[in-house]
Structure formats: structure tokens, C-alpha cells
Structure 1
């Protein structure tokens, strides 16, 4: 497989990943008493998602073994510099979300439920752990493995466009109705994370931190029900189905963060 085309290597990875996960998913659904006629509930989705994500590094290790590659080739290294980049990315992502909701608050588009602020302490840490897992695995798979492999056979920005499109479309696996309006924003988010890897000299540190911060901040706000939209403007501005990445404000936030990455390599 060392000299195999990028498409073959990519297909082998995703088919192997899915093939290893399906039996685990079937057993999990059985244990969770899931009924095919009913949609998956959040508490049912979480075990499925965690098992899927935990399998990814193992399957990727198999691909690396066949191709004589390494995790370092995909931007994942063990070093203090990597951890520093991760912290920088997390800080940038957190600040971008604070600015996004502060601007919407000042414009009268939303307000904060002060009584729900006390919930942040109890929900933020568990969500942080999940966000770090999701951000790390997705960056390793999409900006690490997928981008690197596609860049072997295609120009970098063609590889970036394709990998970001796959990244966006695969989010439909978990939820179709709410995810569909987010596809353009998710694709743009993928492109921003490619730029984060480039600005970090091919390391995934900033991209992982940035991705994790966005997942953590938005999920924490949703779980604590911290923000209520006033309806002053269309939800296409604030985010369809209350998902920031599905609205103009969220898109502007992604573009602004991308500009920072473009102008300030390694921040």
C-alpha cells in the first residue's frame, strides 16, 4: 500500500473504520433498547459517537503500518510545542465565541439567562473532555490523514476543498434536519482548520485546540441553555435551528478567525 494512490488509501481507511464500528454500534443499540421506528436520543448517540471516535486512531495506526508512515506525517506529534499550539488554538476559539455572542447581545439579537450561569460549573468540564476527544480525532482524521493523503495526488488547496467537503457532509450521519443548513458553514470551518494547520507549520496543535474550543463553547451554551434569541432578526442571521454555524453571524466569525490565522502564523 506504500505506493497506492491517495484515493485507495483513503477508501481503505474509511471502509475499515466503518466495518470495525458497525458490530460495536449494533451491540450498543441493542443494549440501549433502541427501536428502529424511533429517532436516536442524545443519550443514545453519545456511546455510539465515543466508540466510533475511539476506533479511529487504531484503524489509522493500521493504515500507517501498511504505508510505512507515521502519526507525525499527519501533524500529530508529542512535544511541548504541540501542547503550546493546542492551548493557543483553544484560546483563539474561546475568544472568537465570546466575541460572537457579545456582538449579538449588543445588537439586541440575544440575551443571557443569568439564572442558568450557575449550571456552567457542572456541565463545562464533562463537555470539555468530549470536545477534546471530538476535536482531536476529527483533526487527526480530516486535517491530518485525509488532507495529507489527498495532497499527495492533488494540489494542496484542491485537497483542502475535498477534505473539508467530506468533513461537512459526514456530519449528516448524526442528524440530517438540523445539520443540512450547516453544511456551507461546516465546509468553511473545515477550510479554516486547514489554514490553522498551515499556520502551525503542518502541526495539528492549533487546529485541534481551535476545533475543541468551538465544540466546547457552543455545546456548553446549548446544554446550560444560557442564550435566548430575541427574534429581532431572522434566524438566518443568528443561525438556523439556533446553530451559529448555520447563520451569517457564525460565518463572519469563522471568516474573522481565518483572517487572524492568515495574517498571524503561529498567532
Structure 2
């Protein structure tokens, strides 16, 4: 029954954030439903952060909550180095995609982007990506490791991460590669954390770099040819997201292949911050 608190935490926090956000109508009756949803999500995340220290103390029997989820900042230089290692790796992965499209003649030109777009890319990293990594690779991964062990925990957490991005506005033929790519991306990020010996900063750098750089690409920094096959840039013509593209999934698979050997040497570390069983953890 240890899984019940894990399941009920967000079943409580998300509706609570949604209910509290309704009070915004008192100050702005014309607010859009999209903005209201964003406000509700922010409130839920703030409540989550408020609950997290007590959760670590009671659930995980640790007083070092931030260390447990991989956000140790005692050694700021090491944390910064780990972050940039992840970020540089994201640049490398994007570069592979860029060169593939360039050599195939699918890039018309490079263009400048507005300063505001750069700020938006930074906000994506600081805001959305940082929050996602705390929730998924931080808290949820520790929970999965506690309940199921590292190997099964990584698979389950990656599955939940993928399904959490479910979209009802795209067809099934686009949804399958999109969720597949997200599942593989979740595996890459989880293995990144184990390779970094439990630190979350490398995941933030890798995830943030991919999201931020692609946002700049999509904002006009790279002008792709109209002849570019849709499966190179996304799972469908109406959805440009390389995580669900053929080339994106291929890059993720190669990344997993090379990460696996490193994981075999460091994979046990992740569960050491909680009382997980280490039996049969190495894949």
C-alpha cells in the first residue's frame, strides 16, 4: 500500500490549485481559460514545493530533501558544471539534427531572433523545464525507486512522463510516435541523472537546452525548406516537435545505447537516497 500516498498527492494538489485559481475571476472576469489553467498549475506547483520537505522527512526519512531529489547546491561550482555538461550535450544533439537537415538541403537560411524570443527561451528553461525536472526526475523518480527499484522505476517514471504530455488535438498516427519519443526522452533524462550520480542539474541542462534551442529554431532562427519531410521535424505535418520525429527517435535510441554502459556502473546510486531495494537493479 506504499503507492497510495504517491497517487493521492497530485490527486489532491492539482484540484486544489484549480479551485484556488477560480478566485482570479473576482479580479479579472475576462481572463482566458488558458491563462487560468496556467495560474492553477503554478499554484499547484507552489503547494507541491511547500509539501515536499515534510514529504521527504516523513516518507523518505531524510532531512536533506534537496539532496535527495538531486538539487544539492552546497558545491555550486560542481552543480554549475553538471548543468553545463547536460546543456552542451543538448547542443550536440540539436547539432546532429541540424546537420542532417542541412546536408539533405532542407534548410533555406538562418535568420536572427528577437531579444524577447531569447528571453522566452530562458524562461522555458528556468520555469517549465526546471519544474518538470523537480516533479518527474526528482520527486517521482525517487518514489518509483522506493516502490519498484531503480530499473523498473525508470521505466515506469518514463511512461508516466510520456503520458502526462498526452494531447487530444492530434491523431493517433501522430500521437504514437510523439509519446514514444517522450518515453525514450524520459529514459535518457533518467539515465543522465544516474550517470551524474544523482544530480538533477545535468537533466535540467539537457532538457532545458533541447527545449530552449528548439524554441529559438521554431521562432525563426532556422528557416526549414517547404520540401522538408514532415517526419523529420515532427510526428505530423501539423505538429513540429522533433522528439516525435523519425530522426529524433533515432538520435534518442543511439543516446540510450551509449548511456547504457555508463548506467551499468552508476545506476545503483539513484536509489541510495531512499530505502529502495537494490536487488536485480542493473539492466
Structure 1 unaligned spans of 5+: none
Query: Match of 1:164, SS?
Result: helix
Unmatched runs of 5 consecutive residues or more in structure 2 = 267-283
Contact 2:234 2:241 in 1 (8 A): yes
Structure 1 contact 13–60 (Cα < 8 Å) conserved:
no
Q: Aligned match of 1:134 in 128, 132, 146?
A: 128
| C-alpha spacing 1:103/1:167, structure 2 compared with 1 (3 Å) | same
What's 1:101 paired with? 98
Partner of 1:123: 117
- Does the aligned pair in 2 maintain the 1:13–1:59 contact within 8 Å? no
Q: How many Å separate the matches in 2 of 1:102 and 1:48?
A: 40
The answer (yes or no) to whether the contact 2:125–2:208 under 8 Å persists in 1 is yes
1:9-52 deviation line (CA, Å, top 9, x unaligned): 3113212331332124434578373567xxx4xx7765555555
Matched, 1:239 2:231: no
Conserved? CA contact 2:86–2:202, under 8 Å: yes
Distance, in Å, in 2 between the alignment partners of 1:24 and 1:259 is 45
Between the two proteins, the alignment pairs up a number of residues equal to 251
In 1, Cα distance between equivalents of 2:45 and 2:259:
27
Q: 1: distance between equivalents of 2:135 and 2:5? A: 13
Please say if 1:203 is aligned against 2:195: no
Indicate the residue corresponding to 2:184 in structure 1. Answer: 188
Q: Select which of 150, 158, 161 maps to 1:164.
A: 158
Whether the 8 Å CA contact 2:18–2:41 is kept in 1: the answer is no
The answer to whether the Cα contact below 8 Å between 2:109 and 2:224 also exists between their aligned partners in 1 is yes
For the pair 1:150 / 2:150, whether they are aligned, the reply is no
> How far 1:209 moved relative to its partner?
0.8
Query: Does the 8 Å contact 1:185/1:245 carry over to 2?
Result: yes
Alignment of 1:28-67 (within 5 A): 31=28, 33=30, 40=34, 47=39, 50-67=42-59
| Aligned-partner SS, 1:97 | helix
State the alpha-carbon separation in 1 of the partners of residues 131 and 249 from structure 2: 23
- Cα distance, 1:202 vs structure 2: 1.3
* TM-score of the two chains, using structure 1 as the length reference: 0.81
Over the residues paired in the alignment, what is the CA RMSD in angstroms? 2.8
User: Which sits farther off after the overlay, 119-128 or 45-54?
Assistant: 45-54
CA separation of 1:34/1:113 partners in 2, compared to 1, >3 Å: closer, same or farther? farther
- Give the deviation of 1:226 after TM superposition: 2.9
Report the Cα offset of residue 55 of structure 1: 4.3
Describe the superposition over 1:45-104 as per-residue Cα deviations: whole angstroms up to 9, x where unpaired.
Answer: 655555554444223234224434322112221122122101110111122112212211
- Secondary structure at the counterpart of residue 118 of structure 1: coil
* Mean CA deviation greater in 153-162 or 64-73: 64-73
Give the TM-score normalised by structure 2.
Answer: 0.77
Q: Decide which moves more: 255-264 or 9-18.
A: 255-264
Instruction: Tell me: CA distance 1:50–1:257, structure 2 relative to 1, closer, same or farther (3 Å).
Output: farther
What is the aligned counterpart of 2:216 among 213, 220, 229? 220
